[in-house]
Structure 1
Amino acid sequence: MTVHKQIITNRVAFLEKKVPLYASALGLIGLLVLWEIICSTKIVSPLFLPAPSAIVVTGWDMLISGEITRNLGPSLYRIGLGYTIGSVVGILVGLILGFSKWADAIGTPVVYAIYPIPKIALLPLFVLWLGIGELSKVTIIALGVFFPVVINTFSGVKSVDQILIKAAVTFGSNHFNVIRKVILPGALPMIFAGLKLAAGTSLLLLVAAEMIAAQNGIGSMVLHYGNLMITTKLMVGVLVLSLLGLTFNRLLQWLENKLLPWR
């Protein structure tokens, strides 16, 4: 019996053992080393796949010259504004749909009917309606962010224990307090899942919008160097987008840890 307990204790300790921080970088480092080896052996032409070392050197030169900064600024403005608008509206609409039976009956079919439409396909229409300026780009990003956020928020509200809601109402809480103190905290895990999913969607729509209807931005820069077959600078743009997505994800994870310390 004692041996059995010891085995269980060892298994629990193994499952609870924390992974070192450096472990997260091992996979990425291994991929970069393999990539560099492949390029150094000339298996693939540098025209089609430049080496990571060449991309870093070129990226540093573009950073010093200010080219990256000139293109990154407009992209951050577009994605920041579009993501914020889409997230705020999505959370509010999701709370309303989840809390009100009438709103659920009327609004949910509309959301699920429009959601499957590829938002990139709507971009030319938005340019026609709103012009080639910033409004069309911000709007398409906000629309792409809105749907995953509203659907996850709605699902999160529906997953809240009904006993907690009834208990709050029984003790005299009004609708606003029930939403603020019971429904919203219970739905936050699903809301953050939607926000993380929407982060990837917003990057995709940002690049598409800048490739179609912009003279600046990271997406426009990638398209420009792709047309010129300057793949090293093209990969610098891809690297910037990757770092932007990683930073986005880390910020959302940090915010989730602050708002949901019990998780």
Structure 2
Amino acid sequence: MNQKTKMPFDTLIGLVGLFLIWEGLYFFINHPVIPEPIETIRLFVHLFPSLIPHIFSSLYRILMAILISFLIGVPLGIWIGASKWADRLLSPLVYLIYPIPKVAFLPVFMLLYGLGDASKISLVVWIIVFQLILSVRDGISQIDRSYYQVMRMMHASKWQTFIYLLCPAIIPQIISGLRVCIGIAIASLFFAENYATKYGLGYYIMNAWSVIDYSEMFCGILALCLLGFLLFKLIDILERLLVPWKKDQ
């Protein structure tokens, strides 16, 4: 089985497994909060046009947060990893801030940036940017020092060292960090979208829950699963394009 046929087959196995788990929970728990899978999927297909604005609102917020986190986190991670002075100065600060439950800062961002997308995106950035900083820093710190000596012996410039040594080392770490960031971003955005918004999957799910429409609530959960799945597949495509040597291994 080649790689192209293996991926859809693996996806099919995952979908079947998810469906069987859902069916088992519906059968054994026997409570309205877990609706019947087939009927819910039919309802999802029927409601999909009305879900599109919510999906795109959540997708926009996630992608903007990841882009901003990338622009901030990658340069900082490179600086911390490449400079002992920066590592001594900033790593302890990152260690102190990183474990803090940052969702508690949502009221602060809402007061600073208003009730629109800016406060929600800022919250997600505040949560995931440290993951990217640490991923990039660790990627640089794992480079064997002998490689730097080889680059100096070849009279490589700083730019050439960055392109041919640092980038191949940090790109796999960035990809791994982005995978973690997607899960964290979706979870934190779900929380943020419960406040001062009328669009977003978090709002849609909690609104359905508030009116005790569990089937529609699960339709929102399915849309959230679909959004996360597509983002993870996008990361897989980026990995195959940017880290071809990993595929060869």
Do they fold alike, i.e. is TM over 0.5? Answer: yes
Give the conservation status (yes or no) of the 8 Å contact 2:205–2:220: yes
- C-alpha separation in 1, matches of 2:14 and 2:242: 29
Show structure 1 runs of 5+ residues with no match.
Answer: 1-16
Aligned amino acid, residue 59 of structure 2: L
Q: Distance in 2 between matches of 1:159 and 1:38?
A: 44
Of 15, 30, 46, 1:61 maps to 46
Contact 1:35/1:52 (<8 A) preserved = yes
Shift, 1:32, TM fit: 1.2
Give the alignment of 1:124-163 within 5 angstroms: 124-163=107-146
The 5-angstrom pairing of residues 190-201 of structure 1 reads 190-201=173-184
Q: Return the index of the structure with the highest Cα Rg.
A: 1
Question: Structure 2: how far apart are the matches of 1:37 and 1:182?
Answer: 50
The partner residue of 1:244 within 227, 231, 248 is: 227
What letter matches 2:138 in structure 1?
A: S
Q: Deviations over 1:181-227 (max 9, x none)?
A: 20121222222111111111111111111012322111101110011
Query: Hey, what's the Cα distance between the residues in 2 that align with 1:261 and 1:208?
Result: 36
CA distance in 2, matches of 1:20, 1:252: 17
Q: Deviations over 1:105-164 (max 9, x none)?
A: 111111111111112111111112221111111111122221111101100000012111
Distance 1:257 1:53, change over 3 A: same
- Shift of the alpha carbon at 1:43? 5.3
Do the aligned partners of 2:113 and 2:119 also contact (CA within 8 Å) in 1?
yes
1:166 and 1:126 mapped to 2: Cα distance?
A: 46
* 1:79-228 equivalences in 2 (<5 Å): 79-228=62-211
For the aligned residues, what is the CA RMSD?
A: 2.2
Taking the aligned partners of 1:158 and 1:201, their CA distance within structure 2 comes to 24
2:195 is paired with a residue of what secondary structure? helix
Shift of 1:174: 2.5
Question: How does 1:3-18 map onto structure 2 within 5 Å?
Answer: none
TM-score w.r.t. length of structure 1: 0.86
Change (3 A) 1:50 1:25: same
Residues 42 and 156 (structure 1 numbering): CA distance in 2 closer, same or farther, change over 3 Å?
closer
Structure 1's 42 and 96: CA in aligned 2 closer, same or farther, altered over 3 A? Answer: closer
Amino acid paired to 1:33: L
C-alpha contact 1:156 1:190 (8 A) present in aligned 2:
yes
Amino acid at match of 2:154: F
- The share of aligned pairs that are identical, in percent, is 28
Give the drift of 1:35.
3.2
1:28 aligned to 2:11?
Answer: no
**How has the CA–CA distance of structure 1 residues 164 and 255 changed in structure 2, closer, same or farther, with 3 Å as cutoff?**
same
Distance 1:38 1:93 in 2: 45
Task: Provide the C-alpha distance between the structure 2 equivalents of 1:173 and 1:194, rounded to a whole number of angstroms.
Answer: 29
Instruction: Go from structure 1 to structure 2 and tell me whether the alpha carbon gap of 1:48 and 1:224 turns closer, same or farther (over 3 Å shift).
Output: same
* Letter paired with 2:212: M
Is the counterpart of residue 51 in structure 1 residue 41 in structure 2?
no
| SS of alignment partner, residue 129 of structure 1 | helix
- Structure 2, unmatched stretches of 5+, are none
2:216 counterpart of 1:233: yes
The one-letter amino acid of 1:70's match is P
Instruction: Kindly state the Cα deviation for residue 74 of structure 1 after the two structures are TM-superposed.
Output: 1.5
Deviation at 1:25, TM superposition (A): 2.7
> Displacement of 1:28 after TM fit?
3.3
Structure 1 distance, partners of 2:25, 2:189, is 31
- Residues 1:187 and 1:54: Cα distance change in structure 2 (over 3 Å): same
Per-residue CA shift, 1:153-182, capped at 9, x if unaligned?
100000012111121123222223212220
Note the alpha carbon deviations across 1:52-100, whole angstroms, 9 max, x for none. 112111112212xx32012122111111111111122111110111011
Take 2:143 and 2:183, find their aligned partners in 1: how far apart are those partners? 26
SS in 1 for 2:112: helix
- Number of aligned residue pairs: 244
Once residues 23 and 247 of structure 1 are traced to their aligned partners in structure 2, the CA distance between those partners, rounded to angstroms, is 15
